[in-house]
A and B are shown apart, each in its own frame.
Chain A
Amino acid sequence: MKAPSRNKRPGFSRRAQYGLFFSYVIAVTGILVGLGLVVIAHVDPTGFGVIRGGALDATAPISSAARGVVRGAGKVVDGIGAYFYAGSKNAEMARELDRDRAALVRARILALENERLRKMLKLVDDRGGSVAVARIVGSSGVSSRRYATLDAGRAQGVEPGQPVRSPEGLVGHVVDAGMIASRVLLITDSSSVVPVRLARGGAPALAAGRGDGSIEIRPLGAGGNPFNRGDIVLTSGTGGLYPPDVPVAVILSKDGDVAVAWPLANPAQLDYATVEQPFAGLPPPPEPTKTAKP
């Protein structure tokens, strides 16, 4: 076997010895600078947004071009998989359709009634419009943070802080924006917290990402765990940023005080996502009451 360090030992040459010494000085200084960058990221997470945005602009077209190929291949596999158990699946879907038809009729009646009541109350729906519709072209597979890349940037009006949703549900919010691409913090990232409420009953809760693709739902009310398997949680709009009534996740299991849920908008399957204006927050009540309930 070869000797470990060929040509690395400088020998008796003073100049070569100094060269090696200075290379170590540079390396250690660089490590300290790197640690400084990490500290800055800890103190100010949006720092270096310009540099990160520029890098996104340079790299997003590569992911964007190859994304179609990957999706095509994925569709072929899914298409073959759909043929297995086709008969039993068909029967099950027919039963489900019968069940859902009744629910659909009830929902239509409710929608009509809702519209009528809204008109009576003269509620103004001052929801911010959508900023851009963009494709999700990639994600961070290496890092333990959960980011996705969108192929729309400042040129399309995308700014950091805007919420991102898809027809299926909430995706996340923009953290870095370049000129033609932007980075989205997914709701499954462990630093993401979304105020939600239960679709059935409206119990308030917080949806925090767990970093492994699932979401933890923590109820805000004391006493008991109000969630059941299969319940859907919606954004509540509390505190602004995320608009209300966007589906977030479906609950899979209860785990003590909290529930584990799976996001309804699976970023791996998404084609398009909509970037929206940040929700300004719920309007204040028209008449401030003296006995404000928490």
Chain B
Amino acid sequence: MRAPASSAPPTRAIEIRAQVVPIVSTLLGSATALMPTVALSPTWPPLGLLMLLAWRLLRPEIWMAWIGLPLGLADDLLTGQTLGTGMVTWTACLLLADLVEGRLLWRDYWQEWLLAAIAIAFAMVAGWAIACWTGGATPIRLILPQIAISILCFPIIGRLCARLDRWRLAIGKIRAQD
């Protein structure tokens, strides 16, 4: 699927690393919900979702849209949300990204952030709606600060993904600069 950018043949270890790093980093993002703090209101940004979107926008070719199903299920189990919340919202975000990307001729930083912001807001409002429907009707104003924090966090996560991407593909070491 992925064509190496340089003539140097990548070693087996780097091939595996290239496949595993995006998945593991997204799982680690979900696992930040295990932080040993007891929160009185939802404040922590959904870092798993942010990692997923950052990888998707940085490297559209590494994942098909269905990757949102297993990763979203893992997120549900790690964060203790209603099972299915992450599966539905994450996959819908990836489909949304596919849909928008097919229509864009070019892309810049602000567009990427706007797309991510829409996806984050959609996923969190959908998660809130599901939580409401399955028994915990909180006022929506409680998740607005969380949405704002998550949108503001996205560029940092994007940078982190870019650093991980360079390490994972060994860009600048055995491959040419991208």
Contacts and interface: CB of A to CB of B under 8 A. Distances in A.
Q: A7, A56, A144 — which one has the most chain B CB atoms within 10 A of its CB?
A: A144
Given A23-B64, A38-B133, A59 B78 contact: yes
Contacts of A4: 60, 101-102, 104-107
A240 interface: no
Contacts of B128: 144
Contact of B1 (A7, A62, A188): A7
Interface string B80-91: 111111011001
B77 to A, nearest CB: 4
A24 B95 contact: yes
A56 B27 CA distance: 15
Main secondary structure of the interface of A (DSSP, over half): mixed
Main secondary structure of the interface of B (DSSP, over half): loop
Interface string B135-167: 111110011000000000000000000000000
Contacts of A2: 107
A290 interface: no
Contacts of A137: 36
A286 to B, nearest CB: 38
Interface in A59-74: 59, 62-64, 66-67, 69-70
- Interface size, A (range): 35 or more
A226 interface: no
A63 B42 contact: no
Contacts of A41: 82-84, 134
Nearest to A145: B136
Contacts of B31: 59, 62
Contacts of B92: 31
A125 B35 CA distance: 40
A211 B61 contact: no
Contact of A145 (B3, B36, B46, B81): B81
A135 to B, nearest CB: 10
B131 A144 contact: yes
Interface string A130-142: 0000001111111
Contacts of A30: 66, 68-69, 87, 91
Interface string A255-288: 0000000000011101000000000000000000
Interface string A35-75: 11110011001001001100110010011101101100000
Interface in A208-225: 210-213
Of B38, B69, B85, most buried by chain A (CB within 10 Å of CB) is B38
A141 B84 contact: no
A56 B34 CA distance: 10
A41 B134 CA distance: 6
B138 A37 contact: no
B36 A63 contact: yes
A59 B60 CA distance: 31
Interface of A: 1-8, 20, 23-24, 26-28, 30-31, 33-38, 41-42, 45, 48, 51-52, 55-56, 59, 62-64, 66-67, 69-70, 136-149, 176, 183, 188-191, 210-213, 266-268, 270
